[in-house]
Amino acid sequence: MSVFHFKKFSIQQGETAMKVGTDGVLLGAWVDGALIGDRVLDIGTGTGIIAIMLAQKNPEAQIYAIERDENAFQQATGNVAICPWSNNIHVYHIDLAQYLLSSSNAYSTIVCNPPYFIKGWQVDNPGRKLARDAEHLPHDLLIAAAKQLLTVDGNLWIVLPKQEGELFITTALQGELYCCNKTQVFTKPGIAAKRLLLRFSNQKTVVEENELLIADEQNNYTDAYKALTKDFYLNF
């Protein structure tokens, strides 16, 4: 599907290796609109979907989206141009390491659907490998970026596979970035959690943990999943 339609915007994805998926939609929907604040950084924006979702949640925020892949950058730029909040979203063709050298801005929210590498996973598409290989965005770099760019009370929001997410929590703690919220995502009953939705801040606090089940045993979407994504998906 080259175009993915949401309630208030559409995502063109024909030129990008990584298409609209559950991870990005989950993360964009999970970010608490009350905590977004006035300046947002979307690291590795891909099609621009999360940046646009956050603009829908908080139309007053200025959102800065960076992307290192040329095709994804062009696709995100086009998607932002046709969305209702195009004046609030700014897309840049740059990687995070370069951005850190040139930016002195502080952000109330940093959001990232970061790369991860699964041992033995073979990918023929170079763009898809770039988007999913953590070598191109090491987790320690993302943690350092959060420490440098977040406001004192700002938040980093990410989604990762469970194993990688647990490792990220440990690595972040070593960098004095603390997990505040942790949602384990289950696709179906009886199956181990596939993803972690995580919020981090500079403030040490007790971690709030919960679970989200996407579908029941009859493959029907749960009320909790519908409630989380209803502002975006057409069929909810």
Q: What is the pLDDT of residue 140?
A: 92
Q: Which of 66-80, 123-137, 219-233 has the lowest mean pLDDT?
A: 123-137
Give the pLDDT band of residue 127 (cuts 50, 70, 90): very low
Give the pLDDT band of residue 11 (cuts 50, 70, 90): very high
Q: What is the pLDDT of residue 135?
A: 54
Tell me which of 90 and 18 has the higher pLDDT. 90
Q: What is the pLDDT of residue 101?
A: 92
Q: pLDDT per residue over 35-82, tens digit each?
A: 999 999 999 999 999 999 999 999 999 999 999 999 999 999 999 999
pLDDT of 130 strictly over 50 = no
Buried b (16+ CB within 10 A) or exposed e, 200-226: bbbeeeeeeeeebbbeeeeeeebeebe
Arithmetic mean of pLDDT, 120-146: 62
Nearest to 77 by CA among 42, 45, 36: 45
Q: What is the pLDDT of residue 24?
A: 95
Arithmetic mean of pLDDT, 5-15: 93
Q: What is the pLDDT of residue 14?
A: 81
Determine the topology of domain 3-229 in CATH: Rossmann fold (3.40.50)
Give the pLDDT band of residue 136 (cuts 50, 70, 90): low
Provide the sign of the torsion angle of the four alpha carbons 171, 177, 179, 185, taken in this order.
negative
Give the pLDDT band of residue 123 (cuts 50, 70, 90): very low
Q: What is the pLDDT of residue 116?
A: 65
Arithmetic mean of pLDDT, 181-194: 96
Q: What is the pLDDT of residue 1?
A: 60
Q: Where are the beta strands (DSSP E) in the chain?
A: 3-5, 10-12, 39-43, 62-67, 89-93, 107-112, 150-161, 178-186, 195-201, 208-213
pLDDT of 17 strictly over 60 = yes
Arithmetic mean of pLDDT, 187-209: 96
Q: Output the pTM of the full model.
A: 0.91
